[in-house]
Amino acid sequence: MIAYLVRRLAWMVFVLMGVMTLVFFVSRVIPADPIAAMLGGQAPPELVEKLKAKWDLDKPVIQQYIIYLYRLSQGDLGISIASGRPVMADLLHYFPATFELATAGTILSIFFGILLGVISAVKRGSFIDHVARVSALLGVSMPVFWSGLLMLLLFYYTLGWLPGGGQLPYYMSPPPRITGLVTIDSLISGQFSVFVVALKHLVLPSLVLSFFGTAAISRITRSSMLDVLREEYVTTARSKGLSEGKVVMRHALKNALLPVITVIGITYGRLLEGSVITETVFSWPGLGRYATNAFLALDFPAVVGSSMFIALLYAVINLIVDISYAYLNPKIRYH
């Protein structure tokens, strides 16, 4: 197991370097001038040239790459052209909000996805199965900018049940930043009322984010459950006189979960990279908006830094998913 982990970690470094190199060169061959765009059409040419030199953009691309590699080896991701701050500081500032939202979204996806998938499989062909399958289809196909605004219109604007956007009410100061997660920080600092309000603010955006994951998880749970329910050991369990609930939950579901875990991993990875649209509609100060703005402005250091960070997240989640297989199915061994 340890040898396996070491091999996977080494592979992870290799993947990150690959992502970095690819993104570095692709972003630099685009015929654009990010410094001119940042300064605007008005800026005198001398100023543009001066700032290009500051970001080493006046040097040949290979030299820029070597400089970047050297700085990276010191743990320095460079300074963002747009924010003027270290990219690492920016990533650490924006990631917690995304982490909080993605985690809430994934939990909701798992809960609703598995629930719908199991019911669909057990009641195959019934009305509830059809409803679940149509819901799954809607969940996958509904664009977030539409579903997000629809949810805001219904639950915030019309009914007034839930807050509209942001992590807290507009007039409320956040708790002291410790982890960067508003819910956790409010608990750590003993502000329970802030925790409740932060939780309320999480409901709508995480629900919207969970649509896609719920759909994917419910579909895979359904098909996996249908396979498992046909297995002989399920028939044996039934013949032993166990209740249907116990058969489904204890015998079938656990064995049906293996492919579901993979989908959960992919869903979580997708959500962790940040959703620019959800973050925009719900005024969420997350990584998605930061990375997207970096790409649009061709903010080179932020583009490469964000890409590596997102690649790292995927790599870590994949590793966790692979390891979790062993706990679900002891027959799986790592070599």
Q: Using the rule CB under 8 A, is 134 a contact of other proteins?
A: no
Q: Using the rule CB under 8 A, is 52 a contact of other proteins?
A: no
Q: Using the rule CB under 8 A, is 137 a contact of other proteins?
A: no
- Among left, alpha and beta (phi > 0; psi -120 to 50; other), residue 120 is alpha
Footprint of other proteins on residues 164-183 (CB under 8 A)? 164-167, 169-171, 173-174
| Residue for token pair 């997660």 | 181
**Which of these ranges, 13-21, 134-142, 153-161, 214-222, lies near other proteins under the rule CB under 8 A?**
153-161
Q: Which helix (DSSP H) or strand (DSSP E) does residue 269 occupy? A: helix 254-272
Binding pattern to other proteins, positions 11-30, x when CB under 8 A? -------------------x
Contacts of residue 236, defined as CB under 8 A and 6 or more positions apart, other chains included, come to: none
**Which of these ranges, 54-62, 229-237, 243-251, 277-285, lies near other proteins under the rule CB under 8 A?**
277-285
**Which of these ranges, 43-51, 117-125, 251-259, 267-275, lies near other proteins under the rule CB under 8 A?**
43-51
Contacts of residue 53, defined as CB under 8 A and 6 or more positions apart, other chains included, come to: none
* Complex with other proteins: residue 107 or 164, whichever CB lies closer: 164
CB of 15 to other proteins, least distance (A): 29
Q: How far apart (Å, rounded) are the C-alpha atoms in residues 19 and 22? A: 5
For other proteins, the binding residue among 45, 75, 190, 241 (CB under 8 A) is 45
Q: How far apart (Å, rounded) are the C-alpha atoms in residues 141 and 124? A: 23
> 81-103 b/e with 16+ CB inside 10 Å = b?
bbbeebbbebbebbbbbbbbbbb
Q: Using the rule CB under 8 A, is 142 a contact of other proteins?
A: no
Q: Using the rule CB under 8 A, is 133 a contact of other proteins?
A: no
DSSP state of 161: -
At position 203, the amino acid (one-letter code) is: V
Q: Using the rule CB under 8 A, is 86 a contact of other proteins?
A: no
Q: How far is CA 228 from CA 114, 175, 224, 251, 329, in A?
A: 15, 48, 6, 9, 14
CB of 179 to other proteins, least distance (A): 15
Q: Using the rule CB under 8 A, is 282 a contact of other proteins?
A: yes
- Site residues, other proteins (CB under 8 A): 30-34, 36-37, 39-45, 47-48, 51, 82-84, 93-94, 149, 152-153, 156-157, 160-167, 169-171, 173-174, 196, 199-200, 203, 280-283, 285, 289-290, 293, 296-298
